[in-house]
A = this chain, B = another copy of it.
C-alpha cells in the first residue's frame, strides 16, 4: 500500500484500499455504532442495558442505530414473550469479524491516553 506510481499518481490498489476504508466508515458511521458493537461484543444485551452502558445515548438514537445495525446484518433482535416483554440484542456471527477492529481501537486508545498523560507530565516539569 505504501507505493505511489512513478508519475506521482495514486495506484489503483491504493484507490481500492481507500474505497474499502470508506465502506467500513460508512457502516460504522455516526457517534454510536462502534460503541454499540463493542458493547455487544461482550455478550448479548437488552435495550436498557445498552442504554446504560453506552453513556449519553438517548432512546431515539439507540433504537435508530440498532435498526440500522440489524439492517446491515450485524446484530439480531430477539423478543422474549415475557411480561413485560424482553428484547435481546446480539452480534451476528458476521459482526464478530469487527471485533479485531474494536479491539484495535481499544488498544490504541489505551496507549494514546498513556502517551497524553506522559506528555502532560513532562510538559509540567
Which residues in B have their C-beta under 8 angstroms from that of A57?
Answer: none
Identical copies of this chain, number = 2
Q: Does A98 count as interface, using CB distance less than 8 angstroms?
A: yes
For chain A, the bracket of interface size reads: 35 or more
Q: Is the CB of A42 within 8 A of B21?
A: no
Q: Which of A41-72 contact B (CB under 8 A)?
A: 41-43, 49, 53
A89-125 vs B, CB cutoff 8 Å, 1 = contact: the mask equals: 0000010011011111111111111010000000000
Q: Is A87 an interface residue (CB 8 A)?
A: no
Which residues of A are in contact with B by a Cβ distance under 8 Å?
1-4, 8, 10, 14, 16-25, 27, 34-35, 38-39, 41-43, 49, 53, 94, 97-98, 100-113, 115
